[in-house]
Chains A and B, each alone.
Chain A
Amino acid sequence: MKFLVVVGLALLLLTVESVLVQQLGLAISRIDVTVVLVAFLALRAGTREGAMSSFAVGYLLDLMSGQPTGLFTFLAVFIFLLGKLVVKLVEVRSRLTFALFAMGADVGHGLLASFFTWLTAREGVAAVSLSGLPTQVALTGLAAALLHPLLRRFEVERPSSVGMLR
């Protein structure tokens, strides 16, 4: 996926999420659309291109959070690299497996975000984030299943490798 397409898509998805969460009246849980995007990048993008795109996605999330700390930029790149490792072990092709993959990524993202928030913020903030995690993971999985066809549309066809040994 091209860098600018990812940035545009991230902006669109974050805006839709922001409005949707308000309409649904969710107090704590969010829909981690950026994690869905990063999970897709981990599956399809090269390391350099994917890391740069993940950085941009994380930076946008940080910027829209009201208090940019750099945490979500770091986590986006970290989850991307972790995802790249995981896809060496599992095969993710269908919509369902992508949703499960994104949910796994969201669990990791949520736990790490809570941990780092607990390290720096006042008592109680991390606990609040964790209490909303199960709903958040479920909503993110649903979003991943819905977004999978759209994300595949933006995917650039890459030439398949010839032979096993090159």
Chain B
Amino acid sequence: MLSLLKRYLTLLIVSVLLLYPFGSFLAKGRRGRETNFVDRVVIGLTAPVQRGLIAVIDGVKAVVFGYIDLRGVRERNEVLSAENLQLRAALRALGETRAENERLRSLLGYAEVVPGPELPARVVGVNPVSKLLSVRINRGEDEGVFRGMSVVTPDGIVGQVVRATGGWADVALVTDPESRVAVRVQSSRARGTAAGTGKGPLRLENMLRTEDVQEGDLIITSGTDGVYPPGLVVGRVTRLEKKEHGMFLGGEVEPAVDTTRLEEVLVVGSPFGSLVQAPLGGER
């Protein structure tokens, strides 16, 4: 028996190494498993190494690109200063409008959706597999980042946190083919869904063909998906397909954020965050 086992040991080991992950994939292929204890240990061991490597790469980049970046800084500084003045003036005007809006809201007794705190984070890398288009940020559970939180930039939405560990979080991008965002046309308030296609523009879905929507219209989040707070910019309508038959119109939305050039992002605590974070069957 022992000699038989010895003889076929390699075959046995290779079979287990091949069939165990395959079985695991067939069982939970679509969504993937939750991060288990072994995963956490491996992440815990590898994260400091990865962090160190990123620091080294950043250092090399800073030396190489430092000089190039400095060229033209004076001219850019002047342009930015002028822009800053304009923005401050615009901000003052908006402050007046906001105060007026708040007064009117309180008069009408409207309940306001208060988004959670915003946490700045840095994009440190992208997912090495294109099955899920995601980026990794340098904030995790330790800083209060959890699965389901939305990630934005001042230009618009970026994606949603799909996994958070100690000091890292993975953010699935809005361009990922599995991504769906509940949206609204800013001007006409028509509702629909922006679906990721994997590259370039998002696909406009579930928008009634009778709705008032034009090419160039600004698309914002509606907040009804429970992930993104309402009113965040998603992009602009670049193409519309109004078929003669059918309930819905088709179209494309150019995302406001270029997800291939992300550097700094903000993690936003969703107003529905407590629902997302609550463990299933846990205390409420």
Which residues of A does B touch, CB under 8 Å? 8, 11-12, 14-19, 21-23, 25-30, 33-34, 47-48, 51-52, 54-55, 58-74, 77-78, 81, 113, 116-117, 119-122, 124-125, 127-129, 131-132, 136
Contacts and interface: CB of A to CB of B under 8 A. Distances in A.
A9 to B, nearest CB: 12
B72 interface: no
B205 interface: no
Contacts of B162: 66-67
Q: Which of the listed residues A27, A30, A124 has the most CB atoms from chain B within 10 Å of its own CB? A: A27
B21 A18 contact: no
B54 interface: yes
23 contacts: A8-B49, A15-B49, A15-B54, A18-B124, A18-B126, A18-B127, A27-B175, A27-B200, A27-B260, A28-B199, A30-B129, A48-B9, A48-B10, A63-B39, A67-B132, A67-B162, A68-B39, A70-B20, A74-B22, A81-B18, A120-B30, A125-B131, A125-B177
Interface in B1-46: 9-10, 13-14, 17-18, 20-25, 28-33, 35, 39, 42-43, 46
- Chain B: interface size category: 35 or more
B97 interface: no
B184 interface: no
Nearest to B39: A63
A120 B24 CA distance: 13
B18 A74 contact: yes
A28 B133 contact: yes
Contact of A122 (B13, B129, B177): B177
A122 B203 CA distance: 15
A130 B148 CA distance: 28
Nearest to A123: B177
Contacts of A23: 61
Contacts, number: 175
A61 B128 contact: yes
Given A66-B172, A73-B21, A121-B30, A128 B14 contact: no
Contacts of B39: 63, 68
Contacts of B139: none
Q: Which of the listed residues A66, A69, A78, A127 has the most CB atoms from chain B within 10 Å of its own CB? A: A66
A11 B46 CA distance: 8
Contact of A66 (B14, B29, B61, B132): B132
Main secondary structure of the interface of B (DSSP, over half): mixed
A3 B150 CA distance: 39
B131 A14 contact: no
B123 interface: yes
A60 B43 CA distance: 9
B14 A63 contact: no
A58 B21 CA distance: 10
Contacts of B49: 8, 11-12, 15
Contact of B124 (A19, A48, A122, A131): A19
B30 A66 contact: no
Contacts of A55: 17, 21
Contacts of B9: 48
